[in-house]
Amino acid sequence: MGQYPVKIAHIALVGNPNSGKSTLFNALCGARQYIANYPGSTVEKKSGIFFCAGREILLSDLPGSYSLKAYSPEEGVTARTLLGKEADFLSIDLVLYLADVTTLKRSLYLYTQLAQLSYPTVLVLTMKDLAQKKGLRVQTDLLASRLGIPVLYVDLRDQEDLQRLKKEICHYVENPPPPARINFPPDIEKKLKSRGFHKQAVDFALFDEILGNQAAASLRYHIIEEKLRGVYLQERKESQSYSDKLDKIVTHPVWGLGVFALVMFFIFEAIYFWAKPLMELIEFTFGTFAHFAAAPLAKVPILHSLVIDGLIQGVGSVLVFVPQIVFLFFFLGLLEESGYLARAAFLMDKLLGWSGLNGKAFVPLLSSFACAIPGVLATRTIAEHRERVITILIAPLMSCSSRLPLYWVLISAFVEPFYGKFAAALAFVAIHALGPLVALPMAYLFSKSLFRKEGSSFLLELPDYRLPQWKNIYYKVKTAALKFITTAGSVILVFSLVIWFFSYFPKIKKEDALYQSWYMKTLKEMPEGLKESEKERFLAIKEKAFALEQSFLGRMGRAVEPLFAPLGFDWKISVAVLAAFPARELIISTLGILYQVGEDADEETALSLAEKLPRTKKEDGFAFNPAVAISLLVFFALSAQCMSTLAVVKKELISWRWPLFLFIYMTALAYVLAFLAYRLALYFLGN
Amino acid sequence: MVRLSELALGEKGQISQIESSAIAPRLMELGFVPGEYVELKNKAPWGDPIEVSLLGYRLCLRRKDAEAVWVNTQ
């Protein structure tokens, strides 16, 4: 038997989107909330605990819905839960139905469906402050007697109202209100019964099918109208609300775009530049940590390499994304809470609509220019599964900040010296434009081929502008950051260790003939007149390159060289490209080792690489020429070289199918376009 | 009688009927039922989607979806 002498009381929050459910949920449960996914779905399951005079109450915040005839995965979860069909869901003792009082008629539509399920229900009318501003008065007692259930009227932003509400809720936990009920006219009831509609096993699709969609909706709205007669008084004529005034500019076809550009620029700036010092701080911390760990480990080279290059590097490469995720989710929360996010989607819908996406895809795509991980996480604001998947599939094509170092090296090596600063800037813009130019046609292809459903639609409520609720934003940011660290983090760490293994083993022993002959050859190459310390450094750099060349990774690089030859890559570039599959930034340090300029992914390495690459002569019949640089740029811009992104996609879409598809299509796309770019560059630039 | 998508900015009409379309059942549930009043509040850049108000709230929808809704402007 259960642990509790009495079954724990379970309350469900039900209501339309924007009805204030999250605010109430956060106010009641605070930090005692748990976010998971509904089994087999990507929908967030929010539950929490609060106390009524010492008694523990379980509160579930069901996803906001307009109808129990579910149209989106979120609505599906709410409908299944209320119909008792959701697995592992504790039976509901009390429903708190939240309704935005400023659009009460529409808000009660879902209530007329809920009322067919006979849960003990309390109706909570929210947005009292807005209603007062709009000159609305509500006779709650009259409404309560008409509906036969308790009706409360609150402003969820008001602490006193919240306290009063909590007291009332606790009262109704101990003294359950009567179940919500709805009566249809006798002729309708008769018709429903004759066509096999059961009141005990309600099927809303069947309900609408029997009556006809329009008649069913009209019937429900007619019943609501009767219940609301005399309840809802417009005391004075509504003056133009501040939302309307703001929208004159914010959603204006011309000014609106200007405001939009400013807002997006600001957010992009924040993710791109403001997060940078924090990211550097994290890198510095891990660098220092590695430095201190190095000394005691120096005696055991393999442990040294495992801890420094594998573990610390791996954990660091997970945590370094956290500042960007926090910044992005803070601003996303701000936009969502204030009501602007819906406006941004409204403005952008046409621009993205032709490709099968909708306006809400804009923010995730923009965020992906900083980093695809927060971008993929941000697609949670897209309710339609199909559009969310397509947005996730194209988000990593946007050029993220970890591609920048290689762009910088190649452009300063091959563009700036020959064509000047202006051309270099142009090249930066061009390589950043490549992503969206390729992504939208890909989205179009995906929406036509991967999903069978015809056409997409875009229905979005524009809520009134409101001051953001900091508490709601705080929990959103916290959830996103923790989810990233715990779930994506473990996968990234594993792959970091795998790539470390491949680049470390097999180790060539000093007694080995291969090592001996390399050592003799290198000694001969050593320039004359070096000091002892310089000799040591020269040997160390050469040895690191030799070890990498002999490792599994190096051998794989040589093995795949023929595969990359059509793109103009030699074995060194092939190794670097392979090494960068877990994380793009690794390409710089690997090239640094192979071109023997240094071993760290720091500015010095990048600088020396930029100087060294154009000077590679036709050693082994290969020269790093501008055509190769262009080919590598295109490949690097489009390929899926980021294990973190793939791990996050897996977590978000709970299937390995999508990240696998993402990886294959992006790599293929990168290969084909890099090949074309290489051939074109050879034709126009020559060797 | 005109389609909702053909209303002028700021023009108000009473819904007379909804043609059947993929999205029509959803629109009805959101309050697009005969007899309700709906006003065209705004158009996005390039004229699409549009923003309408009804039942005290505002909704944006694409023109092609709005075509299903017929309104009387008198």
Among A45-54, A219-228, A330-339, A486-495, top mean pLDDT goes to: A219-228
Residue of chain B whose Cα is closest to the Cα of A136: B56
Q: For residue A158, what pLDDT is reported?
A: 94
Bridge partners for B19 per DSSP: none
Best CA proximity match to A50, nearest among A148, A137, A173, A134: A173
Residue A197 in this model has a pLDDT that exceeds 60: yes
> Minimal Cα–Cα distance from A109 to chain B, Å?
7
Q: For residue A622, what pLDDT is reported?
A: 64
Query: Would A99 be classed as within a structural domain?
Result: yes
* Structure ipTM: 0.96
Query: Would A469 be classed as within a structural domain?
Result: no
Q: For residue A619, what pLDDT is reported?
A: 54
Is the Cβ–Cβ distance between A372 and A642 less than 8 Å? yes
**Residue whose structure tokens are 């995720």:** A325
Query: Would A284 be classed as within a structural domain?
Result: no
Whole-model pTM: value is 0.82
Confidence of residue A686 (pLDDT cuts 50, 70, 90): low
**Which tokens hold the place of A467?**
């001051």
Q: For residue A6, what pLDDT is reported?
A: 61
Q: Worst-scoring range by mean pLDDT, A181-185, A346-350, A570-574, A670-674? A: A570-574
Three-state secondary structure string covering A456-468? CCCEEECCCCCCC
Is A251–B42 a contact, with Cβ atoms under 8 angstroms apart? yes
More confident residue, A559 or A3: A559
Give A15's contacts in chain B (Cβ within 8 Å).
Answer: none
Three-state secondary structure string covering A569-635? CCHHHHHHHHHCCCECCHHHHHHHHHCCCCCCCCHHHHHHHHHHHHHCCCECCECCCHHHHHHHHHH
**Residue whose structure tokens are 């909590």:** A166
CATH, residue A87: 3.40.50.300
Give A105's contacts in chain B (Cβ within 8 Å).
Answer: 31, 55-56
Q: Worst-scoring range by mean pLDDT, A154-158, A218-222, A455-459? A: A455-459
Q: For residue A35, what pLDDT is reported?
A: 78
Mean pLDDT of A366-379: 84
Residue A684 in this model has a pLDDT that exceeds 90: no
Confidence of residue A2 (pLDDT cuts 50, 70, 90): very low
| H or E, element range at B39 | strand B37-43
> For residue B72, what are the contacts with CB-CB under 8 A and spacing of at least 6?
B1, B13, B14, B16
Q: For residue A178, what pLDDT is reported?
A: 95
CA–CA dist B52, A419 (Å, integer): 53
> Minimal Cα–Cα distance from B62 to chain A, Å?
6
Is the Cβ–Cβ distance between A43 and A77 less than 8 Å? yes
Confidence of residue A617 (pLDDT cuts 50, 70, 90): low
Residue A311 one-letter amino acid? L
CA–CA dist A455, B6 (Å, integer): 21
Q: Worst-scoring range by mean pLDDT, A35-39, A531-535, A597-601, B60-64? A: A597-601
Give A104's contacts in chain B (Cβ within 8 Å).
Answer: 56
**Contacts by residues A479-483 (CB-CB < 8 Å, ≥ 24 positions apart):** A479/A35, A480/A325, A480/A326, A480/A329, A480/A374, A480/A377, A481/A322, A481/A325, A481/A326, A481/A329, A483/A35, A483/A377, A483/A651
Residue A359 in this model has a pLDDT that exceeds 60: yes
- Asked if A217 has any chain B CB less than 8 Å from its own CB, the reply is yes
CA–CA dist A462, A119 (Å, integer): 30
Confidence of residue A452 (pLDDT cuts 50, 70, 90): low
Q: For residue B41, what pLDDT is reported?
A: 93
Best CA proximity match to A16, nearest among A121, A124, A148: A124
DSSP conformation letters of A385-451:
HHHHHHHHHHGGGS--GGGHHHHHHHHHHHTHHHH-HHHHHHHHHHHHHHHHHHHHHHHHHHHHHT-
- Mean pLDDT score of chain A: 85
Residue of chain A whose Cα is closest to the Cα of B15: A218
Confidence of residue A679 (pLDDT cuts 50, 70, 90): very high
* Coil, helix or strand at residue A319: helix
B-contacting residues of A 589-648, CB under 8 Å?
none
Residue A1 in this model has a pLDDT that exceeds 50: no
Among A180-189, A292-301, A370-379, top mean pLDDT goes to: A180-189
Q: For residue A687, what pLDDT is reported?
A: 58
Is the Cβ–Cβ distance between A519 and A550 less than 8 Å? no
CA distances (Å), origin A170, targets A51, A102, A115, A165, A606: 8, 26, 22, 9, 63
Residue B11 one-letter amino acid? E
> For residue A222, what are the contacts with CB-CB under 8 A and spacing of at least 6?
none
CA–CA dist A395, A368 (Å, integer): 6
Q: Where are the alpha helices (DSSP H) in A298-394?
A: 301-305, 313-319, 322-338, 340-353, 362-367, 372-378, 385-394
Mean pLDDT of A164-188: 95
The verdict on whether omega for the bond into residue A506 sits within 30 degrees of 0, i.e. cis, is: yes
- For A645-677, write each residue's pLDDT tens digit: 898 898 888 889 999 999 999 999 999 999 999
Confidence of residue A190 (pLDDT cuts 50, 70, 90): very high
**How many independent structural domains does chain A possess?**
1
CA–CA dist A325, A481 (Å, integer): 6
- For A421-430, write each residue's pLDDT tens digit: 888 888 888 8
Query: Would A225 be classed as within a structural domain?
Result: yes
Query: Would A465 be classed as within a structural domain?
Result: no
- For A73-88, write each residue's pLDDT tens digit: 788 889 999 998 887 6
CA–CA dist A289, A312 (Å, integer): 8
- Asked if A66 has any chain B CB less than 8 Å from its own CB, the reply is yes
Strands B2-3 and B37-43, bridge-based pairing:
unpaired
Q: For residue A570, what pLDDT is reported?
A: 86
Residue of chain A whose Cα is closest to the Cα of B18: A214
Q: For residue A169, what pLDDT is reported?
A: 96
Query: Would A319 be classed as within a structural domain?
Result: no
| H or E, element range at A68 | none
Residue A134 in this model has a pLDDT that exceeds 90: no
- For A16-29, write each residue's pLDDT tens digit: 999 999 999 999 99
Query: Would A172 be classed as within a structural domain?
Result: yes
- Asked if B9 has any chain A CB less than 8 Å from its own CB, the reply is no
Q: For residue A240, what pLDDT is reported?
A: 72
Domain ranges, residue A202: 9-234
- Asked if A521 has any chain B CB less than 8 Å from its own CB, the reply is no
Residue B54 in this model has a pLDDT that exceeds 90: yes
Q: What percent of chain A has pLDDT over 90?
A: 36
> For residue A527, what are the contacts with CB-CB under 8 A and spacing of at least 6?
A538
Q: For residue A306, what pLDDT is reported?
A: 81
More confident residue, A660 or A307: A660
Buried (b) or exposed (e) across A458-495, using 16+ Cβ within 10 A? bbbbbbbbbeebeebbebbbebbbebbbeebbebbbeb
Q: Worst-scoring range by mean pLDDT, A580-589, A617-626, B44-53? A: A617-626
Mean pLDDT of A110-136: 93
CA distances (Å), origin A317, targets A179, A310, A328, A583: 54, 10, 18, 8
Residue A98 in this model has a pLDDT that exceeds 70: yes
**Which tokens hold the place of B58?**
């505002």
Is A460–B59 a contact, with Cβ atoms under 8 angstroms apart? yes
- For A273-283, write each residue's pLDDT tens digit: 788 788 888 88
- Asked if B65 has any chain A CB less than 8 Å from its own CB, the reply is yes
Residue B66 in this model has a pLDDT that exceeds 60: yes
CA distances (Å), origin A20, targets A30, A159, A165, A355, A477: 15, 14, 13, 33, 18
Give A457's contacts in chain B (Cβ within 8 Å).
Answer: 22-23, 61-62, 65
From the list B20, B23, B59, the residue facing A461 with the nearest CB is B59
Mean pLDDT of A320-346: 86
From the list B25, B57, B62, the residue facing A458 with the nearest CB is B62
- Asked if B49 has any chain A CB less than 8 Å from its own CB, the reply is yes
Is the Cβ–Cβ distance between A319 and A644 less than 8 Å? no
The span from the first CA to the last CA of chain B, in angstroms, equals: 9
CA–CA dist A353, A423 (Å, integer): 33
Domains and CATH numbers, chain B: 2-72 (2.30.30.90)
CA–CA dist A637, A432 (Å, integer): 8
φ, ψ of residue A52 to 5 degrees: the values are -115, 105
Best CA proximity match to A407, nearest among A577, A634, A181: A634
Give A257's contacts in chain B (Cβ within 8 Å).
Answer: 45
Residue A406 in this model has a pLDDT that exceeds 90: no
From the list A104, A213, A454, the residue facing B28 with the nearest CB is A213
From the list A214, A346, A359, the residue facing B33 with the nearest CB is A214
